[in-house]
Structure 1
C-alpha cells in the first residue's frame, strides 16, 4: 500500500527517530503541516511530522470544505491573493486531488434583493476573469450566468418561488480531513515519518524533545517548522495572532428540498460576507459561516457555536426561504478557529487590529524555528512551497524548486480514469483509485441510514493512521458531525479497533 500509515510503520518510525538527525521537523498535522512535510520530503529532505492528537484534529477539519477562488478578496482589492487562490484551486482540481474536488454552483437568488444578485453577478464575472488568467483555470469551471425562476426552483427548492438569480461556480472538497490524510500519506510515500499522538514538542537549539506514548523521544533537527496554527505561539511567543471562530450548522438536506446548488445569502449590512447552505453527498447541508473574534488563550478542546451565531445563521438564510428553518431542524453543529495574523505594522488598539487583518500567511524565523501561520486551506500548497524554499536556503541542501504542483496525491488520477474505477461513486469521491481496496474490506454500513461502511473504518486503522474512536468517527469519516449517529457508531468503531 503506497504511503500506508499502518500501526507497524508508526512503531518502526518511532524506533528510527530516536537520536536521529533530521533535516526538517514539522510540528502540526493540519493541512499546512502535512503540506510542508510533503513538499520537503519530495525535495529529498529527511522529514518527521509530529501532531499532538490526530491528522486534521484542529482547524483543518472545521472548514466549509471549499476550494475557492477568492471572490471575497476581490471585494477587498486583494487581487494577488485572489489570483493565488484561483491558481491553487486549478492545481487541486486538475492534478493534486481531482477525486476530492468537484465543481459546485453557488446561487444568489433575486429573493435576497435584485441589487444583491446584480453585485454577485459582477463579482462572479470578475472571478471568471481571474480564473482565466491563471494556468489551468480555463475550462476548469463554468462561467457565471443569470438563471430563471424555474432554475432557482430546481437548484434550490427551498427558496421563495417566482424570481430568478445568479449562479457562479467554485470548488468543493468531498472532505477537508480526507485531503489532510492524503497529503500525509503521500508525504510518507516520499519518506516522511508521520507521528500522531505526540503530546508535546520542545525545541532547545537543534535538539527536539517530544512526549509520545508516555515517554520522551529526542532527536536533532536542521530546521523546525512550526505549523501549529492557532497554537503556534507555544513555539513562537512573538507571533501576533487574532484568532476568530467560524461556525456551521448541520441540517438534513430534505429540509431545504435537497438542493443541488449552494444557496448564497448576504449577511445583513455586508457586501462581502455571505451565509452559505452547502449541499453534501451524505444527505446533509452545512449552513455557515460566522466570523467571531476569540478572546484570550485558545483552548485545546473543540470550539462550539454560540447561541448568537446559531441565530445569526438561521435569521440570514431564512430571509429567502419559503419555510424558515428553526433550531429544531438542526441535527448537528461545528466550529473551528482561524489563525489570523496581525502584521508587525499593525497598531495595538482593537480598531487598528481589525483594519490590518487578512487571510495572508506569515513566515517568521525564531532561531531554528520557522513559523508558518495564517493563510487558508485553498492555498496550503503555495504556503508549503514558500516555507520549504526558506528551509532549503537555510540548510543549503534539498531541491531548489518544488514539484508539488505536478504531484498527484494517493488516490488521485485524471477524471477519465476515476470514472472507470470499479467501485461505488461515493467511495471514488473519497478514496479515488483506492476505492476498490476500501470496498473489499467490508460493505456493511456502520450506521443504518448513513452511507459509511465498515470497510472505511478498517482502511483507516490499517492504512490511514487512525488510532481511536474519535479518529475514525470524527476525522476519517464525518459521522461525528451528527451526534446521534456518532453515538450509534461507537460500538462498531470500537470493534474495528479491537480487530487491529
Structure 2
C-alpha cells in the first residue's frame, strides 16, 4: 500500500531505523537515486518537502530527448550520454514515454543549413545509437509542407526529420517512486529537512518536519544525498561544513493552445527570430509550445509565466506559422519551470551546460546538481556507484536499472503495448467505462490499470464525477500518496495544463471527495481549495 492512510505509519518508520541512504528531494533525480540504491539492496529513505515532482519534474517540456541543440555548443559527450538514455527510459516505461517524430524546418536565413542539419542529425543518430527505423530523414520542401501545410514558406528549403521521445514528466517520476517503494524504499511527500545532526563533525541524521501534521522526527542514515534541484543551496546552507557550488536558476515557460486554433498534428522544433530553438508539440487535442530561457532570481517554489514570456512564444508561433494569427486570448493555460544549472561566468541562460555534477562536503553530505530529465537514470547510477564504494555498503549489488521496468510496465515493451491497450480497453468497457476512457487509462497507467479499474467500484452518480475521473482520483489517493487537489490535477493527471476546463468543472467535487476520504479539517479544506484556485489563476492569467 502507498496510501494517505499509511502516512503516519510511514513517517514513524522513518523515525525507527537507521538507513543506508537518505535522499532529500522527490523530483526525478531523487526518485532515480532512491530506486537505484534500493534495487541494489540498500535501505533507503526519501523525503520531499512538497509533493513528488512538484518542482522542475512536473514543469519541463515533457520530452525525453537527446539535446540536439547541444551539438551546436559542441557538447558531444552530453549528447551521447542522454541520447543513449532515451531508449532505456522508453523501454522501461512504455506507458509514460513514446516516440515522437520531430520536424526541423530548414530556412535560407536559419541557423542550420541543409548540409549542417543532415550532418548534425547523422552524428546525433550515431552518438545516441538510434534504432534503424528511427534514424533521421531529410525532407524536400514539398514533403515538409505535406506534414505541416501552414508552416512559413518564405525561404523554406526542406526539413530534417528525426525522433525524440514524448513523456509525462510527473507521471514518470511517480512510477520511479512507486518502483522504489516496491524495493522497500520508504518515501514520503510533504516532509521538509530543517536541520542536520552531527557526530565527530560528520552528518549522521536529518531533522524532518511533517508539513501536514507539524510533527518532527530524526532520520538516521549513513549517507545523505541532497537532490533538491532549485533548493540545493537551501539544503547546503544547513550543512556546517558545506562545500558550495554556485547555482544559476533559469526559467522556461510553456503555453497550451487548442488544436482548433493551432491544428498541429506533427511536432515541430524550430528556430525563432532571435535564433533560439522552440518546440511545438501536439498532445490530446492541444498544442503546447515552449520553452523560454531567462535567468530567474525569485523564490522557485511557484514560478509562473509572465505576459512578456507568453508574448515571446506567441511571436515565435506567428513567425513560423504565419497563417494562424495566434493571440494571447487563445492561450488556455501556461506553466513555468526552473532549471538549476551550475553557474558559468559570462554565459547566457541558453549557453550554460546541462551537465550534472556531484560533490561531497567535509561533513559527508553528497550533492547532485544540473543534468536533464533524460539522464535521470544514469545520474542515479553514477552517484550510487560513488556511495557503494564505501566499505559499509559492501552488501550492495550492481546497478540493474538499465533493464528494470518501472511500476506499470512489467512485461510491456514497444512491440506489445498497443495490443495490450486494446485488450485492456475491452476489459474496462465491460466494467462500465467507455472504450475510449478505458483505452486512455490503460495508455497512462499500463499494468496498473486493473487497479485503477477496481477503484471505480464505489462510484455513484451523486458524487458529480465522471467514472474515469473518479477512478483516477481514488487510485491516486490510495496508491500514489496524493493528498491535495493540486497533487491530483497537476502531478497525477496533468489536467491543469492540458484540460483546464475539466479542472474548473469538477474542482469542487474533487475537493469534497478528497476532504471526505482523507478527513481534512475545515481549515485544510479551505487552504487546499484556495491553493488550487491560485494555481488555476496562475495558469490562465499570466501577470
When the two structures are superposed, what TM-score results if normalisation uses the length of structure 1?
0.89
1:359 equivalent among 354, 359, 366 = 354
CA distance in 1, matches of 2:446, 2:481: 18
Cα offsets for 1:304-342 (capped at 9, x unmatched): 112221111111120132122100111011101000112
Residue 80 of structure 1: aligned partner: 77
CA distance in 2, matches of 1:356, 1:456: 40
Residues 52, 415 of structure 1: alpha-carbon distance in 2 compared, 3 angstrom cutoff = same
CA distance in 1, matches of 2:131, 2:54: 35
Contact 2:68 / 2:124 at 8 angstroms: preserved in 1? no
Residue 429 of structure 1: aligned partner: 443
Corresponding residue SS for 1:264: strand
The CA deviation at 1:18 is: 1.3
The CA deviation at 1:173 is: 3.0
1:104 equivalent among 100, 104, 107 = 100
CA distance in 1, matches of 2:319, 2:464: 34
1:287 equivalent among 286, 289, 302 = 289
Cα offsets for 1:102-152 (capped at 9, x unmatched): 111222345xx23539637743553344434555x3236242221443653
Matching of residues 44-443 of structure 1 within 5 Å: 44-94=41-91, 96-109=92-105, 113-116=107-110, 119=113, 122-123=116-117, 125-134=119-128, 137-139=130-132, 141-149=134-142, 152-153=145-146, 155-160=147-152, 165-204=158-197, 205-212=203-210, 213-237=213-237, 238-257=244-263, 259-270=264-275, 273-280=276-283, 282-295=284-297, 298-321=298-321, 322-342=323-343, 346-347=344-345, 351=346, 357-366=352-361, 367-394=363-390, 395-399=392-396, 401-412=398-409, 413-421=412-420, 422-423=424-425, 424-442=438-456
Q: Which runs of 5+ in 2 are unaligned?
A: 198-202, 238-243, 426-437, 519-543
Contact 2:79 / 2:128 at 8 angstroms: preserved in 1? no
The CA deviation at 1:434 is: 1.9
CA distance in 2, matches of 1:473, 1:138: 36
Contact 2:41 / 2:397 at 8 angstroms: preserved in 1? no
CA distance in 2, matches of 1:300, 1:407: 33
Cα offsets for 1:17-36 (capped at 9, x unmatched): 21420111111110000000
The CA deviation at 1:487 is: 2.4
CA distance in 2, matches of 1:263, 1:496: 40
Corresponding residue SS for 1:384: helix
Larger displacement relative to structure 2 (483-492 or 183-192):
483-492
Matching of residues 471-486 of structure 1 within 5 Å: 471-481=487-497, 483-486=500-503
CA distance in 1, matches of 2:88, 2:144: 30
Corresponding residue SS for 1:313: helix
CA distance in 2, matches of 1:139, 1:438: 36
When the two structures are superposed, what TM-score results if normalisation uses the length of structure 2?
0.82
Larger displacement relative to structure 2 (464-473 or 172-181):
172-181
CA distance in 2, matches of 1:139, 1:132: 11
Corresponding residue SS for 2:23: strand
CA distance in 2, matches of 1:220, 1:140: 50
Residues 120, 457 of structure 1: alpha-carbon distance in 2 compared, 3 angstrom cutoff = farther
The CA deviation at 1:10 is: 3.1
Larger displacement relative to structure 2 (215-224 or 96-105):
96-105
Contact 2:456 / 2:468 at 8 angstroms: preserved in 1? no
CA distance in 1, matches of 2:287, 2:465: 16
Contact 1:227 / 1:373 at 8 angstroms: preserved in 2? yes
RMSD of aligned residue pairs (Cα, Å): 2.8
CA distance in 1, matches of 2:401, 2:105: 38
Residue 499 of structure 1: aligned partner: 517
CA distance in 1, matches of 2:118, 2:506: 41
How many residues are treated as equivalent by the alignment? 480
Cα offsets for 1:423-459 (capped at 9, x unmatched): 2442233111222432343399999999962211111
Larger displacement relative to structure 2 (25-34 or 66-75):
66-75
Contact 2:456 / 2:471 at 8 angstroms: preserved in 1? yes
Contact 2:250 / 2:349 at 8 angstroms: preserved in 1? no
Contact 1:150 / 1:164 at 8 angstroms: preserved in 2? no
Contact 1:250 / 1:331 at 8 angstroms: preserved in 2? yes
Contact 2:103 / 2:269 at 8 angstroms: preserved in 1? yes
Residue 7 of structure 2: aligned partner: 10
